[in-house]
Structure 1
Amino acid sequence: MLPADFISRLQAIVGRDNLFTDPVDCYAYAYDNSRKIFPPEAVAFALNTQQVRDVIQLCNQCAVPVTPRGRGTGTAGGSIPECGGLVLSLERMRNIILVDPANRLIVAEPGVLNQEIQEAAKQHGFFWPPDPSSSAYCSIGGNLATCAAGPHAVKYGVTRDHVLGLKAVTGNGEIIKTGCATTKGVVGYDLTRLIIGSEGTLAVITEATLKLTPLPQSVGGITAHYADITHCARAITAIMAQPHIPSALEFLDSAALDLIRGRHPGLLPENSRAMLMIEADGGTAEIADSAEAIRRACQNDGLITAEATADPAGLWAVRKALSPLLRDIAPKKINEDIVVPVSRLPELLQGLGELSRKYRVANVNFGHAGNGNIHVNLLINPDDPDEMRRGEACLDEVFDLVLKLGGTLSGEHGVGREKRAYVGREIDAQTMALMKQIKQVFDPNGILNPGKLFP
Structure 2
Amino acid sequence: MTESLSSTELKACREIFGTDRFLTDPADCLAYGYDNSRRVAMPQAVAFAANHDEIAALLRVCTEHRIPLTARGRGTNTTGASVPIAGGIVLTLERMNRILRISPGDRMIECEAGALNGDIQAAAAKHGLFWAPDPTSAGFSSVGGNLACSSGGPRAVKYGTARDNVLGLRAITGTGTSIKTGCYTTKGVVGYDLTRLLIGSEGTLAVITEATLKLLPKPEVTRTLRAAYRDVKSAAEAVARLMGQPQIPSALEFMDGDAVMLAQQHQDSGVPQGTGALLLIEADGAPDSIESAVRAISDAARGDGLIELRTAASSAEAEALWSSRKALSPALRKLAPKKVNEDVAVPVTRLPELIDGLGELSRRHSIRIVNFGHAGNGNIHVNLLADPSDAMQMKAIEACLHDVFKLVLSLEGTISGEHGVGIDKRDYVGWEIDADTLALMRQLKQVFDPQSILNPGKTLPP
Do they fold alike, i.e. is TM over 0.5?
yes
The Cα of 1:324 is off from its aligned counterpart by: 4.8
Aligned residue among 328, 346, 352 for 1:346: 352
1:333 corresponds, among 339, 342, 356, to 339
User: How far does the alpha carbon of each residue in 1:46-100 deviate from its partner, in whole angstroms, 9 at most, with x for none?
Assistant: 0100011011111111111000101010111110100011101011101000011
In the TM superposition, 1:54-453 aligns within 5 A as 54-310=57-313, 311-316=317-322, 319-320=325-326, 322-453=328-459
Confirm or deny: 8 A CA contact 1:64 1:85 kept in the other structure.
Answer: yes
Checking the alignment, whether the CA contact within 8 Å between 1:91 and 1:111 is kept in structure 2 is yes
- Give the CA deviation at 1:127: 0.4
How many residues align? The count is: 455
Superposition deviation, residue 222 in structure 1: 0.6
In the alignment, residue 426 of structure 1 is paired with which amino acid?
A: E
Q: Aligned partners of 1:216 and 1:19: how far apart in 2?
A: 44
Is the deviation greater in 267-276 or in 128-137?
A: 267-276
Instruction: Please state whether the residue corresponding to 1:285 is helix, strand or coil.
Output: coil
**Are the counterparts in 1 of residues 269 and 321 from structure 2 also a CA contact under 8 Å?**
no
Assess if the C-alpha contact under 8 Å between 1:250 and 1:370 holds in 2.
Answer: yes
Instruction: Please name the residue that 1:4 is paired with.
Output: 7
Distance 2:141 2:92 in 1: 13
SS in 1 for 2:288: helix
> What SS does the aligned partner of 2:38 have?
coil
CA–CA distance in 2 between the matches of 1:279 and 1:106?
26
Q: Which amino acid aligns with 1:340?
A: V
Give runs of ≥4 in structure 1 deviating > 2 Å. 309-329
**Separation in structure 2 between the aligned mates of residue 195 and residue 249 of structure 1, nearest angstrom:** 28
Contact persistence 2:76–2:137 (CA under 8 A)? yes
Task: Decide which moves more: 77-86 or 259-268.
Answer: 259-268
Whether the 8 Å contact between 1:133 and 1:320 is mirrored in structure 2 is no
Whole-angstrom distance in 2 between the partners of 1:23 and 1:297: 57
SS at match of 1:187: coil
- Whether the aligned pair in 1 keeps the contact of 2:260 and 2:324 (CA below 8 Å) is no
Cα displacement (A) at 1:3:
2.2
Conservation of the 8 A alpha-carbon contact between 2:224 and 2:321: no
Contact 2:269/2:323 (8 A) holds in 1: no
1:318 Cα deviation from its structure 2 partner: 5.0
Q: Cα RMSD over matched residues? A: 1.2
Q: Deviations over 1:315-337 (max 9, x none)?
A: 44653453354234322211110
Contact 1:226 1:272 in 2 (8 A): yes
Instruction: Look up the SS of the partner of 2:447 in the other structure.
Output: helix
* Contact in 2 for aligned 1:3/1:62 (Cα 8 Å): no
Q: CA deviation at 1:162?
A: 0.5
The one-letter amino acid of 1:323's match is S
TM-score, normalised to structure 2, is: 0.96
The secondary structure found in structure 1 opposite 2:289 is helix
Are the aligned partners of 1:32 and 1:73 in contact in 2 as well (CA < 8 Å)?
yes
Instruction: Specify whether residues 116 and 79 from structure 1 end up closer, same or farther in structure 2 by C-alpha distance, changes over 3 A only.
Output: same
Amino acid at match of 1:374: I
- Which runs of 5 or more residues in structure 1 are unaligned? none
Shift of 1:266: 4.5
- Distance (whole Å) between structure 1 residues aligned to residue 326 and residue 210 of structure 2: 28
Gaps of 5+ in 2: none
Per-residue deviation, 1:343: 0.4
> 2:23 corresponds to which residue?
20
Q: TM-score, normalised by structure 1?
A: 0.98
Which whole-Å CA distance do the structure 2 matches of 1:284 and 1:306 have between them? Answer: 22
C-alpha distance in 1 between matches for 2:108 and 2:442: 33
Deviation at 1:383, TM superposition (A): 1.6
Shift of 1:5: 2.2
1: CA distance, partners of 2:142 / 2:28: 21
- In structure 2, what is the Cα distance between the partners aligned to 1:316 and 1:20? 43
- Give me the whole-angstrom Cα distance separating, in 2, the residues matched to 1:314 and 1:56: 49
Matches of 2:305 and 2:399, distance apart in 1: 32
Q: Secondary structure at the match of 2:35?
A: coil
State how far apart, in whole Å, the 1-side matches of 2:43 and 2:49 are. 16
> How far did 1:425 drift?
0.6
